[in-house]
């Protein structure tokens, strides 16, 4: 069977999206450019998000004391294989809020990445309340030459949850930023955490329905993980009953239920996150990302289902 996305996988996968977009293999290379967040530096709050220890996001080659050029060079070396020695790269500004600052300073940092050999574009991880109109206009000028995409940390569509985890913004900012970026022709990705305290299973599935209302291009799902150095780690130590952490099999079923509701045009970039072993407190599944993907694909077949199966029913 061929689905909306014109291949036989039962979901709209990111690898196929990359091949369709570029016509070849393209690898993300992470960059830590020394940014912070407005809920860390005091402009909106301190302490950052309750779930966050940004060390969980940075690969070994990605260190802020190195220049952007040096980080990209090390990243290329990390991913180098003789088979893909001529492959191209996207500079992925990942740690903290990578559009938080003066537009001229931001553009100067991004330009350092684009100046590197084989880099064909940028992916900027950030918050929806850190997207200025001036930055959008500057990024638009690169669109004909480079691939430019924005990944927004959404985490939840529920404002009560966003308050609890100390995001410092509401879901209204997500809606606004997404529409402004889409209007500028800039692909929009989103990060969503399933399993945050206080959200029922039905509320977590409702996130899919809310995202369906927005022009979202791709999505990363994350299971809630308790990592050392986060506020949640302290709360988990004091009262673990506050958290309902999923087993691997439970999360597979939730991911599939979620995808059944999600519109088929959204590219599924990731189903789970994988915190470093030395930082992860719970849940410990012992499953690599690619192994989890294989389990999801097997279960999709067993359930004879696919992304967007129930989406048509929702909109009719």
pLDDT by residue (tens digit) across 15-37? 999 999 999 989 999 999 999 99
Residue with tokens 């996968």: 13
Chain-centroid distance of CA 83 in Å reads 28
Q: Among all chains, which residue has been given the structure tokens 């050029």?
A: 69
Kind of pairing between the strands at 218-223 and 147-155: unpaired
Quick check: is 9 in a domain?
no
Distance CA 151, CA 70 (A): 23
Residue of 81, 66, 149 lying closest to 112 (CA atoms)? 66
| Number of domains observed in the structure of the chain | 1
Q: Does residue 230 sit within a domain?
A: yes
Q: Considering the domain boundaries, does residue 60 fall inside one?
A: yes
Query: At residue 166, does pLDDT exceed 80?
Result: yes
Compute the distance between CA of residue 159 and CA of residue 175 in angstroms, rounded to an integer: 12
**Does position 151 have pLDDT exceeding 80, yes or no?**
yes
CATH number at residue 238: 3.20.20
2 pLDDT band (50/70/90 cuts)? confident
The secondary structure of the chain as a DSSP string is ---TTSSSSSS-BHHHHHHHHHSS-EEEEEE------TTTSSSS-SS--TT--GGGT--TT--TTS-HHHHHHHHHHHH--GGGTT-EEEEEE-SS-TT-S-HHHHHHHHHHHHTSTTEEEEEEEE-GGG--HHHHHHHHTTTTTSEEEEEEEEE-S-HHHHHHTT-SS-HHHHHHHHHHHHHTT--EEEEEEE--TT--HHHHHHHHHHHTTS---EEEEEE--EETTSHHHHHHHH-GGG--PPPHHHHHHHHHHHHHHS-TTSEEEES-----TTTEEE------HHHHHHHHHHHHHHHT--TTTTHHHHH-
Domain holding 307, by residue range, is 14-315
Predicted pLDDT of residue 79: 85
Residue 217: pLDDT band by 50, 70, 90 thresholds? very high
**Residue 3, domain member (yes or no):** no
Provide Rg for the chain, Cα atoms.
19
In a domain, 285, yes or no: yes
**Residue 84 pLDDT greater than 80, yes or no:** no
**What was the pLDDT predicted at 53?**
86
1 found inside a domain: no
CA-wise closest residue to 167 among 130, 219, 125, 127: 127
Tokens 């308790």, residue located: 226
Q: What percent of the chain has pLDDT over 90?
A: 87
> What is the rounded CA–CA span in Å between residue 250 and residue 285?
11
| pLDDT value of position 87 | 86
Residue 4 lies in a domain: no
pLDDT at 199 over 90: yes
Considering the domain boundaries, does residue 7 fall inside one? no
240: which residues sit within 8 A by CB, 6+ positions away? none
Among 77-81, 215-219, 234-238, which stretch is predicted with the lowest mean pLDDT? 77-81
Query: What is the predicted pLDDT for the residue at 189?
Result: 98
The four Cα atoms 206, 193, 273, 143 give a dihedral, to 10 degrees, of 80
Q: Residue 199 in contact with residue 242, Cβ under 8 Å?
A: no
Q: Is the peptide bond before 118 cis (omega within 30 degrees of 0)?
A: no
Burial bucket for residue 247 (CB in 10 Å: 0-12, 13-18, 19+) = exposed
**Mean pLDDT value across residues 139-148:** 95
């Amino acid at each position: 069977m061929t689905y909306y996305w014109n291949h036989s996988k039962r979901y709209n996968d990111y690898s196929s999206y990359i091949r369709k977009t570029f016509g070849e293999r393209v690898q993300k290379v992470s960059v830590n450019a020394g940014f912070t967040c407005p809920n860390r530096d005091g402009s909106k709050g301190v302490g950052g998000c309750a779930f966050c220890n940004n060390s969980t996001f940075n690969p070994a080659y990605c260190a802020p004391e190195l220049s952007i050029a040096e980080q990209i060079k090390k990243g290329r070396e990390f991913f180098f294989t003789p088979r893909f020695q001529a492959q191209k790269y996207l500079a992925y500004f990942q740690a903290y809020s990578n559009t938080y600052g003066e537009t001229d300073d931001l553009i100067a940092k991004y330009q350092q990445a684009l100046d590197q050999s084989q880099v064909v574009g940028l992916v900027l991880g950030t918050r929806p309340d850190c997207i200025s109109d001036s930055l959008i206009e500057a990024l638009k000028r690169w669109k004909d030459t480079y691939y430019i995409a924005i990944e927004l940390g959404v985490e939840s569509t529920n404002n009560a949850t966003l308050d609890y985890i100390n995001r410092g913004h509401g879901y209204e900012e997500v809606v606004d930023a997404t529409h402004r970026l889409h209007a500028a022709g800039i692909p929009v990705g989103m990060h969503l955490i399933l399993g945050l305290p206080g959200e029922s299973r039905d509320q977590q599935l409702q996130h899919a329905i809310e995202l369906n209302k927005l022009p979202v291009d791709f999505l990363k799902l994350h299971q809630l993980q308790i990592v050392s150095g986060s506020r949640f780690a302290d709360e988990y130590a004091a009262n673990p009953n506050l958290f309902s952490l999923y087993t691997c099999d439970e999360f597979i079923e939730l991911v599939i239920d979620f995808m059944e509701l999600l519109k088929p045009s959204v590219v599924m970039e990731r189903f789970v996150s994988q915190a470093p072993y030395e930082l992860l407190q719970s849940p410990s599944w012992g499953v690599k990302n690619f192994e989890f993907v294989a389990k999801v694909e097997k279960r999709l077949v067993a359930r004879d289902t696919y992304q967007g199966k129930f989406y048509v029913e929702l909109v009719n």
